[in-house]
Amino acid sequence: MAEFLRLKIRGIRSVGDDESNAHYIEFLKPCTLIAGPNGTGKTTIIEAMNYITTGVLPLGNYSTFVQSIEMAQKTRVDASITLEFLDVKRRKCTAVRRMTASLKNSKSTYGKDEFTLSIKHPDGTERSISSKAVDFDRVMLNHLGVPKAILNYVIFCHQEESTWPLSEPKELKKKFDEIFELTKFVTAQDHMRKMVTGYKKDKLVILERRRRCEDMIKIKYEAKKVFDECTEKKNEMRAKLDEMTQMQTQLINEKAQLEKQISHIEKTLKQYEQKEFELKTAASNLQVLRVPSYHGAEEQLRNEIQEIENDGQVRSIEAERQNCKVEIDRIVQNLHRITNEKRKLEDLISQMMADAKHRDSIVEEINKMEEQLRSELNINSDTLFIEALQLAIDEKQLQLAEILES
């Protein structure tokens, strides 16, 4: 708590305004007793203490407090009250309140001058406060740590007002409210109620903002999930499209090769049919060459056979018959081989047609998915799909970021 050290009074009531006439009081511990007969200045000391601490003048004016010009026999009186004390933080403070009384045009005027408060900190630094810059009364009460009502009504109470505890209940309640600062308490309580109400409203607003932010975060995560899924599907579709394109190129090449093979097979079949026709012709010729049964003697038949064998035309026909037989065997073998190759080629063509249908179904699925995404994201059909999809996703992310920041 605060502690008074010393008091200096100059130019107050009967105290002269010269330094030689100034009154000095050293306050004792734990108590200072001010005693003396009437007229020795006890009340002046109490009033000076009340004024230096609270700024309250006795009877509310300077004319009865500052030494009169007639008594001082001067045209100007400079009065001051200086109080040295330790504040609630045990810092040494020096407060000075200055007043003046002057004579102008045979008329006395009274007023106050600048008030100052010097504060010395424990590290040795000093700081001065002027009444021109701050509310001096409030600063003094803050350093003393005592409410103004206690100083006015209890500690520095004037003897003429010391009977206030016996006053009317309404006036008594008013003074007690000031002493115990109930008005401030009620005001603070009302302010706290308003703050609590405001905090509850702010809480609801914050909770609503939090809910909206959580919803926006969920939407953002869902959008990111959709974006990732679309990106994954896009990559899969692009890989499948590349695979189908590669397969299509391969099938085109294989188709060209198969067409060449089929052309070769058709040519071979024509050759086979030609040979088969020649074979049938040779067989017909062979039937023509057969003769009916011989009815002559055996010796005569042998001679005729010998003659036929020796005939060059017959030998030529026999050789041709053997050659036809060999050619028929070769053609039959080629026919079996070509038939097997034809069956394999037909199987390969069926597999290629199935792969082509599968590719067409994948392309159709990709087109449907692209149309669905264009419809959901409002993408123009004239715009490149991949670039438009990326722009739409970036726009959604920017909107989510703006909502979260707001």
Asked whether residue 297 is assigned to any structural domain, the reply reads no
pLDDT mean over 119-140: 91
Q: What tens digit of pLDDT does each residue of 185-229 get? A: 788 888 999 999 999 999 998 888 888 878 888 887 887 787 788
Residue 149 has pLDDT above 90, yes or no: no
Asked whether residue 308 is assigned to any structural domain, the reply reads no
> Which residue matches tokens 């200045």?
41
Q: What tens digit of pLDDT does each residue of 155-177 get? A: 888 777 788 888 898 888 888 88
Higher local confidence (pLDDT), 213 or 251: 213
Q: Note whether 53 and 4 are within 8 A (CB).
A: no
Final residue in a domain of this structure, among 99, 114, 146: 146
Final residue in a domain of this structure, among 146, 178, 213: 146
Final residue in a domain of this structure, among 146, 165, 186: 146
Angstrom distance (rounded) from CA 64 to CA 57: 9
Amino acid of residue 338: I
Mean pLDDT rounded to a whole number for the chain: 81
**Full domain range(s) for residue 109:** 3-146
Higher local confidence (pLDDT), 287 or 18: 18
Residues 263 and 367 in one domain: yes
Q: Note whether 128 and 157 are within 8 A (CB).
A: no
Question: Which residues contact residue 126 at a Cβ distance below 8 angstroms, ignoring those fewer than 6 apart?
Answer: 118, 119, 120
Which residues in 258-356 belong to E strands, given as ranges? Answer: none
Smallest CA-to-CA distance from 250 within 238, 261, 242 is with: 242
Residue 290 has pLDDT above 60, yes or no: no
Asked whether residue 180 is assigned to any structural domain, the reply reads no
Give per-residue burial for 209-221: e unless 16+ CB within 10 Å, then b.
Answer: eeeeeeebeeebe
Smallest CA-to-CA distance from 321 within 285, 356, 345 is with: 285
Smallest CA-to-CA distance from 75 within 103, 100, 51 is with: 103
Residues 397 and 254 in one domain: yes
Question: Which percentage of the chain shows pLDDT scores above 90?
Answer: 21
Beta carbons within 10 angstroms of residue 85's beta carbon: 21
Residue 305 has pLDDT above 70, yes or no: no
pLDDT in the model for residue 239: 81
Residue 344, burial from CB neighbour count under 10 angstroms (0-12, 13-18, 19+): exposed
Total number of domains constituting the chain: 2
Angstrom distance (rounded) from CA 98 to CA 111: 9
Domain CATH code at residue 27: 3.40.50.300
Angstrom distance (rounded) from CA 75 to CA 301: 194
Amino acid of residue 100: T
Asked whether residue 138 is assigned to any structural domain, the reply reads yes
Packing angle, helices 312-377 and 385-405, rounded to 10: 20
